Amino acid sequence: MTAWSRADVLAHRVRAQQLDRDAGGTVADTAVLDLGVQDTGPAGAARWALAVRGLPDPADDDLVTAWTLRGAPHTYRRADLAGVAAATWPWSEADAAKRILDGARPLRAAGIPVLDALAHVAEEMRAVATAPTVKGDMSGALRDRLPEPYLRHCRPCDAVHAYEQTFRLAALRAGLVLRPGTSPPVLEQTGVRPATAVPERLDVVRAYLRLTGPATPRQVAAFLDSTVAEVTAHWPGDAEPVDVEGEQRWVLAGTRPPEPARTTRLLAPFDPYLQVRDRELLLPDRPATDLWPVLGRPGAVLVDGEVAGTWRPTTRAGRLALTVTRWRPFGTAAVEDQAEAMAAARGLAAGGVDLV
């Protein structure tokens, strides 16, 4: 069994996710779009994740954002949407129940299979969304169309509506995506139906191993919000075991540790590089809450694959300033260049970098 060091793992992830690419990327060849880029956090977070991978200005029509993995908004290639809808749909009844969390209990109590329930909600959403529809309006319409096992009383809203994860996971099945820049979200109909087969590069287990390996079935299951049994049942036949500091993990066949990349990037809080489920490997010497607090995640300063600090933004009078907290020494010129590029990407003037 091949042995991989921690440095090998980080080097592989930087290279596989193209964080060493300065420019010249295309939507077609940007690898992280196979698994989707979570669009949570600062405005334009997904686009910034693409920019730091050499794709600074993709055409709006080439990308699309939908609720998929973990019910979170993810950005994909528009051309892949049918394949993504198939790839992110639950594999089985048990998988569906795990993904919709507390929404599964009343359905099962009523004798309604969870997969059937998700498909039914999707059909109702498709029928409602004959025009762009604000999320709250869709929720109200579903309340009038769905029977009691699909609904719950929401204390914060003091209203009855569909279970949140059921609502979100059914949306793409209904052909619905999120209109960019809308808050509250506006759902738009694409007319896309799920593909009958999942293209290999969009297979979520393979994509995780390719971009974020070496990994274990438990880590992949945590990323997908699925079960270890389901992920194991869908484990690639060509995955090869490797030893990572005494733990058996897997990579896709033929994957070998690359040379380390020398690069500095400012990563948004939900950047794909930070979405790993082996946080202790990425951040071995600090509490996980330094980078992944329950509320208010900071961005990360990535230097040669290592998280070397964090950043937080402040916007005043049309200027974006960053406060950077250093965990270890690093050169500031590249960070300042990244900060200027981030400001430009948000349509703001650069307000400088304050190092602490």
pLDDT tens by residue, 258-290: 999 999 999 999 999 999 999 999 999 999 999
**Burial (0-12, 13-18, 19+ Cβ within 10 Å), 37:** buried
The pLDDT of residue 112 is above 80:
yes
Which CB contacts under 8 angstroms, 24+ apart, belong to 94-101? 94/227, 94/229, 94/230, 95/226, 95/227, 95/230, 98/225, 98/226, 98/227, 98/230, 99/71, 99/165, 99/169, 99/225, 99/226, 100/163, 100/165, 100/166, 100/169, 101/163, 101/165
38 pairs with which residues across the strands?
A: 74
Query: Three-state DSSP class for 313?
Result: strand
Instruction: Give the pair of three-digit tokens for residue 344.
Output: 């430009």
Q: Which of 281, 209, 211, 207 is nearest to 14 (CA)?
A: 211
Torsional class of 280: left (φ above 0), alpha (ψ -120 to 50), beta (otherwise): alpha
Beta strand segments in the chain, E: 2-4, 37-38, 63-67, 73-77, 133-134, 151-154, 159-162, 176-178, 186-189, 239-244, 247-252, 264-267, 299-303, 306-316, 319-326, 349-355
Q: How far is it, in rounded angstroms, from Cα 296 to Cα 242? A: 35
Q: How far is it, in rounded angstroms, from Cα 106 to Cα 149? A: 5
pLDDT by residue (tens digit) across 140-192? 999 999 999 999 987 777 778 899 999 999 999 999 999 998 999 999 999 99
Instruction: Give the pair of three-digit tokens for residue 246.
Output: 């005494």
Q: Span 203-222, mean pLDDT?
A: 98
DSSP state of 81: H
Instruction: Give the pair of three-digit tokens for residue 160.
Output: 């009855």
User: What is the pLDDT, as a whole number, of residue 42?
Assistant: 83
Axis-axis angle for helices 135-145, 114-128 (nearest 10): 120
Instruction: Give the pair of three-digit tokens for residue 71.
Output: 């019910």
What is the percentage of the chain residues whose pLDDT exceeds 70? 100
User: What is the pLDDT, as a whole number, of residue 214?
Assistant: 98
Look over the chain and give the mean of its residue pLDDT values, rounded to a whole number: 96
Q: Which of 175, 121, 174 is nearest to 147 (CA)?
A: 121
**Burial (0-12, 13-18, 19+ Cβ within 10 Å), 145:** middle
What is the percentage of the chain residues whose pLDDT exceeds 90? 94
Q: How far is it, in rounded angstroms, from Cα 183 to Cα 186? A: 7
User: What is the pLDDT, as a whole number, of residue 156?
Assistant: 74
Stated pTM of the model: 0.96
